[in-house]
A = this chain, B = another copy of it.
Amino acid sequence: MANPLRIGIAGLGTVGAGVVRILQTHGDDIARRAGKPIAITAINAKDKKKKRDIDISKYKWVDDPLAIADAKDVDVVVELIGGEDGTAKELVERALKNKKHVVTANKALLARHGLALAKLAEDNNVSLNFEASVAGGIPIIKALREGFAGNRIEALFGILNGTCNYILSEMRTSGRDFVAVLKEAQKKGYAEADPSFDVDGIDAAHKLTILSALAFGVKPDFDAIDITGIRRITAKDIAFAGELGYRIKLLGITRRIGGKIAQSLEPCLVPIDSALGSVEGVFNAVFVEGDFIDRAMLEGRGAGQGPTASAVMADLVDLARGYHLPAFGLPSRELGNSKWASTEDIISSQYIHLIVSDQPGVIADVSAILRDFGISIETMIQRGRDPNQPVSVVITTHECSLKDIRGATAKIAALSTVAEPPTVLRIETF
């Protein structure tokens, strides 16, 4: 059999340990599939002595992760340290400069520095692969870069953060509010002690940046994404959405609008029986519209040791099979300078949740403001009657521009009868 593909792994957290585990479990099968063995010739992590449930005694330990990028007996550097700067970035850059392929799960690094790193890989004639950076066990990078290569992609919608989807699913089934469910998710290990990276949408936006670049052949641009997390979603919103036939999902959306591309990451209402509406718990899913495939969806586990390590392994098998292609599917010089659309240009139906004093005339005032902005009401629900405390009014609109809805809700928020800033969510249908 051919000489092994020699890999050096930097980072032995959940994913790194998973990669070792896959090779220990399926090394022989993978060698048959790849045409050559994949051999670990260097490993590194913060703490050599940390108790691990995998045996790493037979691998060569290196104390400095950057040494992996210099090692003569390493063909591929597997970067599983994480973080958009610091050691991870230094390691990846040094590996590429040393003409070593890089496989990484680091979405933050790619969202921020993807273009420069893709160029660096090309200049050194090596590959930069990152299937594990988005949606774990779902081969969505491969699908966009290869499987759908005959299409002009029109839009991509993704549930890209399992923590948020778990929290929203739990809020729905238990009727509890965000804070309570978040606490439970933290106890179960589904959410970090500092949850902001997940619940404020940053993690999902990193992933969307990568998917958007792949889908449209444009330079990745994290800063061009409008990001809203899920903190303001209440159990009441979820219940009202359910009553109206929708589920609330944190959606990453990137789509063509005229000659531009609009990227957004925010909680939206989607029909319960739609492809994404039925994706519950920690699962991720990506829905793609292309001019020849029409529509396709990929669903699976977005995180966790097995799925993410499986994605790293897919990248390694590609390299062992001698398959190399540009990081974002096109040579970096050909990635377009996208014109990013303002999300204000997006046209859609909207869900508005108002907390109002229950007194005559409120609905008339609200309706008049919407009318003045040319927004027509599709449904209105008012539950509970209590002159002594605020009640919920929920309105769904027919299609209108985000600009109009923002104008209208600003005026509505200023009404003396409206108790809190309105919650406004897009309704996305597929």
Is A314 within 8 A of B149, CB to CB? yes
Is B32 within 8 A of A334, CB to CB? yes
Is A314 within 8 A of B147, CB to CB? yes
Given contacts A26-B150, A147-B131, A273-B278, contact A300 B295 (CB under 8 A): yes
Interface SS of A by simple majority? mixed
A30 within 8 A of B: yes
A402 within 8 A of B: no
A residues 276-310 touching B (CB-CB < 8 Å): 278, 290-301, 304, 306-307, 309-310
Q: Which of A56-64, A66-74, A317-325, A404-412 contacts B (4 or more CB under 8 A)?
A: A317-325
A residues 226-280 touching B (CB-CB < 8 Å): 273, 275, 278
A429 within 8 A of B: no
A193 within 8 A of B: no
Is B294 within 8 A of A146, CB to CB? no
Interface size class of A (residues with CB under 8 A): 35 or more
Residues from chain B with a CB closer than 8 A to the CB of A309 are 150, 292
Contact of A317 among B131, B146, B298, B311 (CB under 8 A): B146
Digitize A325-338: 1 where CB-to-B-CB distance is under 8 Å, 0 elsewhere: 10001110010000
Q: From residue A272, how far is it (CB to closest CB) to chain B in Å? A: 10
Given contacts A292-B22, A296-B299, A297-B299, contact A314 B137 (CB under 8 A): no
Q: From residue A102, how far is it (CB to closest CB) to chain B in Å? A: 18
Is B298 within 8 A of A150, CB to CB? no
Is A300 within 8 A of B296, CB to CB? yes
With both beta carbons as reference points, the residue of chain B lying nearest to A288 in the complex is identified as: B300
Contact of A150 among B138, B294, B317 (CB under 8 A): B317
Given contacts A26-B152, A278-B278, A309-B292, contact A146 B299 (CB under 8 A): no
Give the complex CA separation of A142 and B318 in angstroms: 11
Digitize A28-51: 1 where CB-to-B-CB distance is under 8 Å, 0 elsewhere: 011011110000000000000000
A195 within 8 A of B: no
A151 within 8 A of B: yes
Identify 12 residue pairs between A and B in the complex whose beta-carbon atoms are under 8 Å apart, listed by A's number: A22-B150, A30-B150, A131-B147, A142-B146, A142-B147, A146-B317, A147-B314, A275-B278, A292-B306, A292-B310, A293-B300, A293-B307
A residues lining the B interface (CB < 8 Å): 18, 22, 25-26, 29-30, 32-35, 131, 136-139, 142-143, 146-152, 217, 273, 275, 278, 290-301, 304, 306-307, 309-314, 316-318, 321, 323, 325, 329-331, 334
